[in-house]
Structure 1
Amino acid sequence: MAKNSIESLIENMSPEYNSGDFVFVSVQSMSGIDIDDILALFREPEGISLVLTKVKRKN
């Protein structure tokens, strides 16, 4: 029996661990967001969903 394409894709994945802390946010504008902090971006009807590296700011 032939495997379907999704099974083949999953079977051949090579996931890698990304160390660090990440946050999931939803925004209306990309203004002020550093593109180097973006790991994933999804355009959705209600806005833009992002997975970002968590930036630790010094006060």
Structure 2
Amino acid sequence: MSGEINITKLLQNMKPELNAGEYVYCLADSKEQVVTLDPLCYFLEKEGVTMILPKEKADAMSIPYATTCAWITLTVHSSLEAVGLTAAVSKALTEANISCNIVAAFYHDHIFVPIADAPRAMDALFALTKS
């Protein structure tokens, strides 16, 4: 089951979806803590374990974080080998002066933007589908 690789089709069909809730990037004390917290996503770096958690979970566990994000999913099934989708999304958000962090998963790309910028980010992404 491979995803789409054609950049024109990806952009036309990406259908951005704003997920409910607020999310934060934070650090786990250990890989064992990751299991107990059940994060949306985590990545093992040599310096530590980065997690993306619902803000309410981080707050409940007193886990520090720097910024609160909205989570946007591009609902098109993009191939991990597709060329240009990340660049096009990043460029559109850069032009709107919105920072973004993109996480690629098997089926979809997920974009985390500052929570206050979520409506403008959605506008920029929908505009990109029409270009």
TM-score by length of structure 1 reads 0.55
How far the C-alpha of 1:10 sits from its partner, in A, is 4.4
**1:51 aligned partner:** 52
What is the distance in 2 between the residues matched to 1:25 and 1:9? 34
Paired letter, 1:50: M
Greater Rg, structure 1 or structure 2?
A: 1
1:29 and 1:10, CA in 2 relative to 1: closer, same or farther beyond 3 A?
Answer: farther
Residue 23 (structure 1) shift: 1.2
Paired with 1:9 and 1:28, the residues of 2 have a C-alpha distance of 42
- Equivalent residue number for residue 34 of structure 1: 37
Structure 1: which 5+ runs fail to align? none
- Larger proportion of strand: 1
1:20-57 superposed Cα distances (whole Å, 9 cap, x missing partner): 1211112240334321xx11111111111111012254
TM-score by length of 2: 0.30
RMSD between aligned alpha carbons?
Answer: 2.6
The structure with the largest helix share of the pair is 2
